[in-house]
Structure 1
Amino acid sequence: MKQKYLPLIIAVALSSLSASALASGYRFGSQSVAAQGTADANAAEANDASTIFYNPAGLSRLDGTQLNFGATVVVPHSTFQDTGSTHFTGAPTGGTAAHGYAPDAVTAPSLYASKKINDQWTAGIGLFVPYGAKLDYGSTWTGRYALDNVKLQAITLNPSASFKLNAHHAFGFGVMAEYFDADLGQAVDVPGTIAALSSPLAAAQNAQLRGTIVALGGNPQVLATAHDAHASINGKDWGYGFNLGYMYTLDANTRFGIAYRSSVAHALKGDAYWDFSMVSTDQITNQVLAASGHRLNSAALVKLRTPETLSVNVFHQFNSQWDGMADLTWTRNSRLQDLHIQFPNTKEGDLVINQQWKNTVRLALGTNYRYNDKLMARAGVAYDQAPVPNAKLRDPALPDSDRYQFSLGAAYKLSPQSTIDVAYSYLNFKNADTSYANSCSPVIPTCTGNGETTRGTYKTHLQLLGVAYNYKF
């Protein structure tokens, strides 16, 4: 009777934020304020040291020593309208709809540095947040048996270098060290289980349960008013990968780029905790319910590989004032298929979760306009696919859907050495229906969840505010 909360940690690593996400899945889409101003279309521009993330070959275009400090604030607006969520018994789950379940704001910092070593070599290092999510539906919402809260964060350290072969060809490479930290929880459907035991088919189990409670000095009468229990988990892991880039400079005004970011192997280790203390006022009954459901605190392990990305991009300067740019990124989200959850040092077998994510593409178009020597304006638009294939596979931890991004930005030179970047983006998600179900019941020993079906519609839009400071030595 294991809960399905463990797969949520897995999903963090699989390229892609939920209702507080920028790019599809849990992947945090903005790694640079300058890039955000063009809807992340400027990978071939190589405007500052953040090119480490978008295309490390772009380091070859940076002179001297450069630093970039930035932060993006995500302000989500999300609601969930329930359309008939049910227990595994088919009865309504009750509770409240989740209005405004996403946090008020989430801030993601970034730090990049580059140094030109000689005419051919440039080195750099980046520190950024590639994945993240933070949702709190509350303990009484209608889909609480699927999830009630999740907080996910990843931090990546990315040393990189570029080699400029000649005036036309430049290559880049880097290594990635990613750290994940995840906390999440869900309600345990004790009322539904008791209701199922009250049926004629479960009379023997019901009698045995009540007899055990009485034998231990408990009061089985409290079963009639039992509340939910709660499960929570935390997990941490380091994983390693690499990124590659190539940039072809056609002339002083035009260049093309190709960038690849590898998958990362992870062995996510966590601990599962069960809290039955709030089920009833009789703690003996609570303990018997926990024991009968095999709700034991234990370790958990999931081995997986995150999806890789491949991007192609172009930049062209039309004249002294206008630039145009585009980026097309493919993400191999289909790596998220069958997930095997292991419970080391226990007699429990693996649990297998099938998410069936699909590969996705993101297309971004952007422009720069130089108003004068000090001020440059930016704008961009992007379309991003979601990896979730249909409503039946839209988990409350990732109520993702296709979205459009509209961005504006500006760069102002404070001095010949320093620049301030600002950006604003609006992301509009398509309304997302869900009918996420566990095809099991918590009274079945091999169950991978509470057996509930979460039905409803998500409505989400986001606003992003970014600011960054650049300094050249």
Structure 2
Amino acid sequence: MRKLLLMLLAFAPAMVLAQGFQVNVAGQKQIGMGHTGTGLVQDGASIFFNPGAVAMLPENSIQAGISPLFFKPAFQAAGSVNVAQSADKVATPFSAYAVFGPKNSWWKAGLGVYTPFGGLVDWGNNWTGKYVLESLDLKAIYFQPTVSIRLAKWISVGGGFVYNHGTVNLTRAIPLANSTGSDGQAQLKGSGHGTGFNLGVYLKPTDKFSIGVDYRSKVSTTINNGDAIFTVPASVQANFPQPNTFTATLPLAATTSVGLGYMPTSQWTIAVDANFVQWDVYKALAFDYANNTATLQDTYSPRNYKNAFSIRGGLQYAGDAKHPNTIPKELALRIGGGYASTPVQDGYVSPEVPDANRYFLTAGLGYKATRNLTVDVSFEYEHLMTRTQTTIETQLSGTYKTNVYIPGISLTYHW
């Protein structure tokens, strides 16, 4: 029993550390083009994709967008015909950017607020894996003040300081029944912060070709004095002292991106991005509880993640006053897609991180409603490859199948 309880408590907010919760829905134009943006100058979302490109933006702007995320995981336990599914809940990743500076100047500044990590899942309290996870609500909000400098007509650089504020609320059952036969419950909730940076270089050697390189650093986020709440029968309450708190540090991996842009005509834009994510920094997850007992000990849980990558591509076809017989000049059509590998190795897949290699397809459109106001919408479909696993620590065994649906909209006021 003691060993089982320790394993249950070892599984706290590891869910921030996977491709599945690295949502990166940081701009509607970029989502519509398959999440490409490192090698392009499009809008204020360059603060996230490549701060080096911000100095090349022709206008100042304020924009805000939201991308409701419908995460649809399913789990079939080994030897069972029953399939557990997460309840229908909607996570709400968002982004907001402000870019300002003198027109035609050598510099611009900006501020980005965005949510590159997050998750919302609720498996309920009656499924096979309830002792691993019942529900999870995770949010990570990044604040990034940014400065970008144009060194020459064809090259600019930029960077920003990153501050992360994260919150987590996780519940799971404990196999200690009360007088009515109901399981006990553990709830871990708290908030933390971390810091990092984002650096980028943008080059446009010709009118038709551009390239960008971006590096987003690791952000080690520390949760201090998170609440550890245990609901158990009175006969064992002394083994789970209340009130109690925990401390944990979670490394959010660094990402290196290279992007290419090609504009064969005034209407067409073609983009390709490649991303390398250094998840190998995530070796283990350790928890330090303020009050320990013989049952409730500090934990050290191996993760042994590996580095991951993604390849993305996209197209945009935009209206042009020089071509009035095509689409309206106020309209832009976008399409894209890509492939992303998982950092989660065999034996470490769990309901908190039901991750797998995935492909995704995107589409979007932009409409210039007035001289100063643009509306952009997007839609993304992600399919995670079916994955059959037995988790090393809990021995939960079965098959995971997951699809993700992400509509999105943003408004931009530019001048």
TM-score, normalised with respect to structure 1 = 0.80
Structure 2 equivalent of residue 388 of structure 1: 344
- 2:88 and 2:307 map into 1 onto residues whose CA distance is 28
Residue 469 to residue 226, structure 1, CA distance change in 2 (3 Å): closer
Q: Which has the higher strand share?
A: 2
Structure 2 equivalent of residue 137 of structure 1: 123
**Is residue 161 from structure 1 mapped to residue 136 from structure 2 by the alignment?**
no
State the Cα distance separating 1:12 from its structure 2 match. 4.2
2:413 aligns to what SS in structure 1? strand
Among 295, 303, 318, the alignment partner of 1:355 is 303
State the Cα distance separating 1:73 from its structure 2 match. 1.6
Contact 1:367 1:380 in 2 (8 A): yes
- 2:68 and 2:292 map into 1 onto residues whose CA distance is 43
TM-score, normalised with respect to structure 2 = 0.91
Q: Which amino acid aligns with 1:150?
A: L
**Is residue 183 from structure 1 mapped to residue 175 from structure 2 by the alignment?**
no
Among 315, 329, 340, the alignment partner of 1:373 is 329
Among 231, 255, 260, the alignment partner of 1:314 is 260
Among 263, 275, 278, the alignment partner of 1:332 is 278
- 1:6 and 1:66 map into 2 onto residues whose CA distance is 46
State the Cα distance separating 1:63 from its structure 2 match. 2.6
Structure 2 equivalent of residue 430 of structure 1: 385
Contact 1:97 1:141 in 2 (8 A): no
Deviations 1:48-67 (A, max 9, x none): 00110000011012133211
State the Cα distance separating 1:147 from its structure 2 match. 0.8
Structure 2 equivalent of residue 295 of structure 1: 240
Q: Which amino acid aligns with 1:429?
A: L
Contact 2:40 2:212 in 1 (8 A): no
2:64 aligns to what SS in structure 1? strand
Q: Which amino acid aligns with 1:134?
A: L
**Is residue 468 from structure 1 mapped to residue 413 from structure 2 by the alignment?**
no
**Is residue 110 from structure 1 mapped to residue 95 from structure 2 by the alignment?**
yes
**Is residue 413 from structure 1 mapped to residue 361 from structure 2 by the alignment?**
no
Contact 1:96 1:142 in 2 (8 A): no
**Is residue 243 from structure 1 mapped to residue 198 from structure 2 by the alignment?**
yes
Among 14, 38, 45, the alignment partner of 1:11 is 14
Pick the structure with greater CA Rg.
1
1:170-249, aligned counterparts within 5 Å?
A: 170-190=156-176, 226-249=181-204
Deviations 1:128-158 (A, max 9, x none): 1111111111111001111111110111111
- 1:275 and 1:167 map into 2 onto residues whose CA distance is 63
State the Cα distance separating 1:226 from its structure 2 match. 4.3
Contact 2:186 2:230 in 1 (8 A): yes
Deviations 1:61-115 (A, max 9, x none): 2133211111112223332112159xxxxxxxxx97422x143422222111101
Structure 2 equivalent of residue 45 of structure 1: 40
Contact 2:163 2:194 in 1 (8 A): yes
2:290 aligns to what SS in structure 1? coil
Residue 273 to residue 55, structure 1, CA distance change in 2 (3 Å): same
Q: Which amino acid aligns with 2:241?
A: L
State the Cα distance separating 1:349 from its structure 2 match. 5.4
Structure 1 equivalent of residue 138 of structure 2: 152
Structure 2 equivalent of residue 89 of structure 1: none
1:389 aligns to what SS in structure 2? coil
Residue 455 to residue 229, structure 1, CA distance change in 2 (3 Å): same
Residue 106 to residue 346, structure 1, CA distance change in 2 (3 Å): closer
Structure 2: runs of 5+ lacking an equivalent: 319-326
Structure 1: runs of 5+ lacking an equivalent: 17-23, 86-94, 192-221, 277-285, 439-451
Contact 1:121 1:164 in 2 (8 A): yes
2:67 aligns to what SS in structure 1? strand
- 1:299 and 1:432 map into 2 onto residues whose CA distance is 35
Q: Which amino acid aligns with 2:227?
A: D
Structure 2 equivalent of residue 219 of structure 1: none
- 2:290 and 2:70 map into 1 onto residues whose CA distance is 39
- 1:108 and 1:306 map into 2 onto residues whose CA distance is 17
Contact 2:25 2:94 in 1 (8 A): no
- 2:8 and 2:63 map into 1 onto residues whose CA distance is 38
- 2:354 and 2:184 map into 1 onto residues whose CA distance is 24
Q: Which has the higher helix share?
A: 1
Structure 2 equivalent of residue 196 of structure 1: none
